[in-house]
Amino acid sequence: MEPYTSLCNWQRSLFWSARHFVSSVAFSFVPPMYLLYLDESGNESDPKDRHFILAGIAIFERVTFFLAKYLDEVQTRHFPGVQPIPFHASHIRTGMDFWRKVDPKVRATVLEDIGGVIKRAKYPGAVLFAAVVEKSNKVFGEKAVEFATESVCRRFDTFLLNRGSEVKEKQRGLLIFSEGRFHQRARVWVTGFRELGTRWGSLKTLSDIPYFASMRDTRLLQIADYVAYAAFQLYEKKDPTLIRPILRQFNEQNGTLHGLIHYRTTPITSPCDCPACASRNTPSNFGSWL
Ligand SMILES: [Zn+2]
């Protein structure tokens, strides 16, 4: 795995150098950029999970600093003077690692506060995306991952094209995956992404290959983790607690949640009343699951 590690570090430093250049030299010479931070929830191969979810947040480059700062402030409010604690939503919810000795009421409040930060990050500064794939004997494992990634990339691409028309200026996008869960497939993604992107019908706005970063190192991937976990809780457990406050932050147009995608792969015998399907059937109706 060593070659992969050095490739990854090299890419990461190049990425941050490029970001620094963009930030410090001249916004006017490069198209504005959205960074889409992505994480996954649900095991794509384990049959005990019925869903695989890829989800995250697209953040306008000049907003990234502020969102990270607001999350740091959540930590300072609850745990002042402590080293940065990664906000891993499932660990906070279930009391794992650092959170084991934290009062459940405090854990619930921390999750509410993270949801509050996402809720206040309004369009066009930040927009949410999630692809929920219901697994079947035909769609599981790598196929489920590829299916979800294709869906999210296409939606992000369309969002950037629409946003470009809105402001009459071309918008670019960059993907940043959480490397922990994607570690095994990282090499395939990096080397094969352009080919995949072409097969998906040419993604017009993505600037480069995807990048990988550790969730521990950036608060913004911790937001992606929250969004993926919140969607998983809704679809897998029918628990809307975490997604309810942030639902309207998904990419939405005229009452339809384009940014939230639900793929049902099992035989469909009845209409689905989840927020994604309900809003496609009747705009501004977010269904009965909430
Ligand atoms: Zn649905």
In this prediction, residues 19-37 reach a mean pLDDT of 66
- Contact in structure between 144 and 68 (CB atoms under 8 Å): no
How far does residue 154's CA lie from ligand 1's centre (Å)? 19
Residue 21 has pLDDT above 50, yes or no: no
How far does residue 215's CA lie from ligand 1's centre (Å)? 29
How far does residue 199's CA lie from ligand 1's centre (Å)? 26
How far does residue 90's CA lie from ligand 1's centre (Å)? 23
Q: What pLDDT digit, counting tens, does each position of 254-283 carry?
A: 999 999 999 997 666 778 999 999 999 999
Structural domains of the chain ordered from first start: 31-281 (3.30.420)
How far does residue 275's CA lie from ligand 1's centre (Å)? 7
DSSP readout, the chain? Answer: -HHHHHHHHHHHHHHHHHHHHHHHT-GGGS--EEEEEEEEES-SS-TT--EEEEEEEEEEGGGHHHHHHHHHHHHHHHSTT-------HHHHHHT-GGGGGS-HHHHHHHHHHHHHHHHHS-TTTEEEEEEEEE--SSS-HHHHHHHHHHHHHHHHHHHHHHHHHHHTS--EEEEEEEHHHHGGGHHHHHHHHHHHHHHTT--SSB-SS-EEE-GGG-HHHHHHHHHHHHHHHHHHH---TTTGGGGGGB-EETTEETTEEEE--S---S---SHHHHHHHSTT---S--
- pTM of structure: 0.88
- Contact in structure between 122 and 31 (CB atoms under 8 Å): no
Residue 74, token pair as written in the block: 């959540």
Roughly what angle, to the nearest 10 degrees, separates helices 219-237 and 64-78? 80
How far does residue 43's CA lie from ligand 1's centre (Å)? 19
Give the whole-angstrom CA distance, residue 227 versus residue 241: 12
How far does residue 280's CA lie from ligand 1's centre (Å)? 9
How far does residue 189's CA lie from ligand 1's centre (Å)? 28
How far does residue 285's CA lie from ligand 1's centre (Å)? 12
Residues with CB in 5 Å of ion ligand 1 = 262, 272, 274, 277
Give the whole-angstrom CA distance, residue 38 versus residue 182: 10
How far does residue 128's CA lie from ligand 1's centre (Å)? 17
Q: What pLDDT digit, counting tens, does each position of 115-150 carry?
A: 999 999 989 999 999 999 999 988 888 888 888 888
N-term to C-term CA, the chain: 43
CB atoms within 10 A of CB 207: 14
How far does residue 110's CA lie from ligand 1's centre (Å)? 29
- The percent of residues in the chain predicted with pLDDT above 90, rounded, is 64
Residue 280, token pair as written in the block: 């496609």
How far does residue 143's CA lie from ligand 1's centre (Å)? 20
- Output the CA angle 24-30-36, nearest 5 degrees: 85
- Contact in structure between 252 and 285 (CB atoms under 8 Å): no
How far does residue 214's CA lie from ligand 1's centre (Å)? 31
How far does residue 59's CA lie from ligand 1's centre (Å)? 26
How far does residue 281's CA lie from ligand 1's centre (Å)? 10
pLDDT at 122: 85
Q: What pLDDT digit, counting tens, does each position of 41-80 carry?
A: 999 889 999 999 999 999 999 999 999 999 999 999 999 9
How far does residue 220's CA lie from ligand 1's centre (Å)? 27
pLDDT at 25: 44
How far does residue 262's CA lie from ligand 1's centre (Å)? 5
pLDDT band at 3 (very low <50, low <70, confident <90, very high): very low
Residue 31 has pLDDT above 60, yes or no: yes
Residue 182 has pLDDT above 50, yes or no: yes
pLDDT at 188: 61
How far does residue 192's CA lie from ligand 1's centre (Å)? 31
Q: Please choose, from the candidates 268, 42, 262, 34, the residue with its C-alpha nearest in 3D space to the C-alpha of residue 145.
A: 42
3-state secondary structure 93-114: HHCCHHHHHCCHHHHHHHHHHH
How far does residue 272's CA lie from ligand 1's centre (Å)? 5
